[in-house]
Amino acid sequence: MTQVGTLEIQHLSKSYAVSTGDLAVLDDVTLTIAPGEFVSIVGSSGCGKSTLLRLIVGLEDEYQGQVLLDGERIVGTSLRRGIVFQEHRLFPWLTVAGNIGLGLLNAALTPGQKRQAVREHIALVGLHGFENAYPHQLSGGMAQRVAIARALVSKPEILLLDEPFGALDALTRAYLQQELHRIWQAEGITMILVTHDVEEAIFLGDKVVVMEPRPGRIRRIVPVDLAYPRERAGLDFSTVKQRVLREFSADSASLAEPPLKSPLPPVPPVTVWQFAI
């Protein structure tokens, strides 16, 4: 019997209609994610990582195969699945509390219960004292914490993260990775992270799913059997990182920029008289 909260992706394929025919984005993806797991998905641009998240969250429903949560096919969006994008997508006319409260818009809670849930999640992401601040008054990292709180406030079974720290500077990114790990442990929910950053994937994930490009397939699932807190400079961490990076080596030629069709014209020699006044 399937454990409650298990996400099962079975032989999933997805294509889009384009002017030249059907463009295959995902091909025969099969993956099982246990309740409470943190799974990182990495791959080159165009391998279908974000499309996979959209199918899990229910933003698209035209595909082949199965996407099952608790043994039931996912149809449409639901409070059981939250998502955080690279851009925080906060409403500029709402406060921090107002933006987080949007996550409870369709929740079967009393107004008092909703206010309490918002307060708890403001504290969870470390923004106590900023309840009445507006997005323009927040740093990029603070705004992204609001987006995470908004996705978590409805108590979803799964939180999907699509490059959530990609637009942040390195120091803020490292800090929020630690914060996300703390939140994951505190909430005990399943998290699925899509990222281009292999180090980030290993730092956070229980396992790293490496995708092949065009169309997206699972090349390898690399377990991350490292205790927390994880030391990025440690030998064990480096060993796992090399295992993941080796999976990309076969794609290096296809990922490189194509050569120019013709060489650039030679630069004419510069003589002193050309600069005479």
* 6 within 8 A of 35, measured Cβ to Cβ: yes
Burial 30-46 (b: 16+ CB within 10 A, else e): ebebeebbbbbbbbbeb
Q: Which residue has the tokens 């997206």?
A: 216
**At residue 263, does pLDDT exceed 50?**
no
pTM (2 decimals)?
0.85
Instruction: Using pLDDT thresholds of 50, 70 and 90, give the confidence band for residue 3.
Output: low
pLDDT in tens, 175-222: 999 999 999 999 999 999 999 899 999 999 999 999 998 788 999 999
Residue-level pLDDT at 7: 95
Helices (H), 111-249: 111-124, 140-152, 170-187, 198-204, 235-246
Instruction: Using pLDDT thresholds of 50, 70 and 90, give the confidence band for residue 126.
Output: very high
pLDDT in tens, 14-27: 998 887 878 888 99
SS3 165: coil
Pairwise CA distance, residues 103 & 196, whole Å: 27
Partner residues linked to 212 by β-bridges = 217
**Least confidently predicted of 122-131, 159-168, 202-211, 246-255:** 246-255
**At residue 94, does pLDDT exceed 50?**
yes
Proportion of the chain in helix, strand, coil states, percent, rounded to 5: 35, 25, 40
Based on the number of CB atoms within 10 Å of its own CB, is 71 exposed (0-12), middle (13-18) or buried (19 or more)?
Answer: exposed
Cα distances (Å, whole numbers) of residue 215 to 100, 162, 208: 36, 19, 19
pLDDT in tens, 234-251: 999 999 999 999 887 655
Residue-level pLDDT at 30: 96
| Phi, psi (degrees; rounded to nearest 5) at 113 | -65, -35
Residue-level pLDDT at 251: 56
Q: Which residue has the tokens 């409650």?
A: 4
Our separate counts of H helices and E strands in the chain read: 8, 10
Span 155-170, mean pLDDT?
91
Ramachandran sector of residue 22 (left: φ over 0; alpha: ψ -120 to 50; beta: rest): beta
Task: Identify the residue with better confidence: 249 or 60.
Answer: 60
